[in-house]
Amino acid sequence: MAGDHDFVADPDRHFCRLRLIRPEVVKLNKIYTRTGDDGTTGLVDGSRVAKHDALMAAIGDVDEANSAIGFAILALTDDEMAARLTRIQNDLFDLGADLATPADDRADPFAPGEMTLRIVASQVARLEEEIDAMNAAMPPLTSFILPGGSEGAARLHLARTAARRAERSAVAAAATRALNPAALAYLNRLSDWLFVACRAANGNGANDVLWVPGASR
């Protein structure tokens, strides 16, 4: 690949300035740029939007969900679950870059490219497969469950609600501009994944805290 390319990537929209020398090499040049002091922030294509734009709210919510997942990992003893969550964290960083990259004018405006990070259908399918595998080991639900049970499950519930908010924000942003449908599907499936993971962290549902309607009346 000839030449260097500036690549803006930071789901929290501090927008660290990165220089992508090769697809596998990212070099951090500077933490602050002062370019956002006017209340705007840059997208991957160099265009700028207001920091209060619906798109930026969605990107920030994705970052918050990612951080909540990292917090949950610290409380888990299941190494396989932790590894899956770490993979999801990486996906969410890709997803933040996806949201920050406007659709292009190709036949498929959301096709991944050498310099374009996009969420793809196979990543959504992986979440679905993992949901089905985890769910197969659990008894069916007989009631809604309350967030809690174990520390790991409680933290995963927090991550689940953050992921659901990220999805709502992304759907709101999609009402103002074209966004990658696979990214929206990924966020939708992620909250389901985290719900099932909560039950897995509670002894495959054995330690779930069940909702008792009207119990305190």
CATH value at residue 191: 1.20.1200.10
**Banded pLDDT at 18 (limits 50, 70, 90):** very low
Q: Does residue 106 share a domain with residue 17?
A: no
Indicate whether 170 belongs to any domain: yes
Q: Does residue 77 share a domain with residue 139?
A: yes
User: What is the per-residue pLDDT across 97-120, written as a single tens digit (0 to 9) for each?
Assistant: 999 999 987 878 898 887 789 999
Q: Does residue 143 share a domain with residue 185?
A: yes
Indicate whether 94 belongs to any domain: yes
Residue 16 in contact with residue 28, Cβ under 8 Å?
Answer: yes
- The residue segments making up the domain with residue 118 are 51-210
Indicate whether 98 belongs to any domain: yes
pLDDT at 45: 86
Q: What is the mean pLDDT of residues 3-9?
A: 39
Q: Does residue 83 share a domain with residue 20?
A: no
Q: Does residue 159 share a domain with residue 203?
A: yes
The closest alpha carbon to 101, from 39, 170, 45, 158, belongs to 45
Residue 192 in contact with residue 167, Cβ under 8 Å?
Answer: no
User: What is the per-residue pLDDT across 150-200, written as a single tens digit (0 to 9) for each?
Assistant: 999 999 999 999 999 999 999 999 999 999 999 999 999 999 999 999 999
For the entire predicted model, the pTM comes to 0.87
pLDDT at 210: 94
pLDDT at 30: 74
pLDDT at 161: 98
Find the angle CA(188)-CA(192)-CA(196) to the nearest 5 degrees: 165
Indicate whether 216 belongs to any domain: no
User: What is the per-residue pLDDT across 21-78, written as a single tens digit (0 to 9) for each?
Assistant: 344 556 666 778 888 889 999 898 889 999 999 999 999 999 999 999 999 999 999 9
pLDDT at 145: 95
Rounded mean pLDDT of the chain? 88
Residues 6+ away with beta carbon under 8 Å from 80: none
φ, ψ (nearest 5 deg) of residue 119: -75, 140
- CA distances (Å), origin 103, targets 135, 147, 184: 36, 38, 14
pLDDT at 10: 45
Q: Does residue 159 share a domain with residue 136?
A: yes
Q: Does residue 162 share a domain with residue 84?
A: yes
Q: Does residue 26 share a domain with residue 69?
A: no
Work out how many domains the chain is built from and give that number.
Answer: 2
User: What is the per-residue pLDDT across 132-162, written as a single tens digit (0 to 9) for each?
Assistant: 999 999 999 989 999 999 999 999 999 999 9
| In the chain, % of residues over pLDDT 90 | 71
pLDDT at 25: 55
pLDDT at 12: 42
Order of all β-strands in the sheet with 25-30: 5-8, 17-22, 25-30
pLDDT at 114: 78
Indicate whether 147 belongs to any domain: yes
Q: Does residue 108 share a domain with residue 30?
A: no
The closest alpha carbon to 84, from 177, 169, 201, belongs to 201
